[in-house]
Structure 1
Amino acid sequence: MDSPIPHVKERLAALVGLIRTRRRRKGVIYWSRPSTLSFLLWVFSCLAIGFAILTAIVPVAPMIWYRLFPGTSSALANILARPAVTFGDLLAASGEQEIETYQPPQDPSLPPEPRLKIAKIGVDAPILEEPQENFEEALKRGVWRVPEFGNPFSRRLPTILVAHRYGYLSWSDAFRRKNSFFNLPKLSPGDQVEIIWQQRRYVYQIYGGDESEVMSDYTADLTLYTCRFLESPIRIFRYAKLVKTG
């Protein structure tokens, strides 16, 4: 009768060989290149984290900048107020424009205070009437109409409305969304702008725009503008024509 010991030894040797093979295989798997799917998932995760960080930083970046450089708001206000000083001569040089006599009907249900509404970008703000020397105080409170130019009712000159793009530290997020021109670049030809003036509803349609230091179109019934960047002399302009309604 054969001794069982050789069989036991053979089985043990086979088992040890299997364990070593598995260890080697595990080592190969561990040190092998990651699969394409794993790599893509890693890249997607990095991009998602980066986007989340950027999204969190963008809304507070102007606040951080204003905190580090407290004179920025005054500098921006001075830049925004320049059209009343520099654009007037250019406008006069462009010649007299034919004045449209149309006026929308007066509606007693409308508020008596001037108001600007731009549904596409969420603006719903009072239009502040302040003299040129008080422009900085006006811009601290939202949308300012440049007084040396026209208004919706009297259109001998275009109506020019100005607002900060980023606003002030004291502004709440809700106030900023309704009273700043942060999203002004999103307006494109065909978009509508509404102004309540003397209890009349004036509707305008955007037809153009540009980014430059000076206004390039003096034929618009309405011009909206703001600064492109913090402390930037470049301004974002949007031009609109009055639309007859009713």
Structure 2
Amino acid sequence: MDAQLPDVEAGKRFYGELFGWTFEDWFGPFTRALKDGEPVAALVRKTDGRLPTVWTVYFSTPDARALARRVQAAGGQVVQSPVPAAELGVTALVTDPDGAVFALWQPREHPGFGRRREPGAFAWAELYARDTEAANAFYGDLFHEALFGPEAEPDFGRAPVSDVFPAEMPPHFLVHFAVEDVPAALAEVTRLGGRVQAPPFETSYGTVAVVTDDQGASFALLRR
């Protein structure tokens, strides 16, 4: 996953203090975020101020071009066709039929997360959809093996937009970072200039709070 930010240096300060991340220059405009020396995310400077300030989740696939075609055939859209990211992999940006944006990643030298499901790392992605039945059909077909196969360990769920957000909020993915103490993490977010969008609430996968960073990118804190 990566965050598109107006100010990457400010992002490094915010997430470095919040999650204990360190950073290194990576591919092109991307800065890689590390937790205990292992990759957990990336930050990238927005090249166009009209683009949203957001976190984007990437789904791994052995063939980004084939999956992009399947997305399109199922009613989604290809926003950015698959392109190589040097020797790291192949990436594409797509939407589901409801308009929620996500990315595809065909790994080469960069397989993905070095750490996850632990404090300061990715723990869950929740799709907030307007039509949950349509989402079930679309993603259930697209990622059937990952969601339902014999070795499935999904870190992905879906809920109606209106469960947490105003009904007019566009469908979107919300990335969740694991924390040991949600109230303490909320206090730190506020101290660093972020704000609380939704105070702690209980879900089937843990206690969640929704926040924004000091540049407006939304994400969630999760205690499982």
Indicate the TM-score class for this superposition, using the shorter chain for normalisation. Answer: under 0.3
- Structure with greater proportional helix content: 1
The answer to which structure has the higher strand fraction is 2
TM-score (norm. length: structure 1): 0.24
TM score, norm. by length of structure 2: 0.25
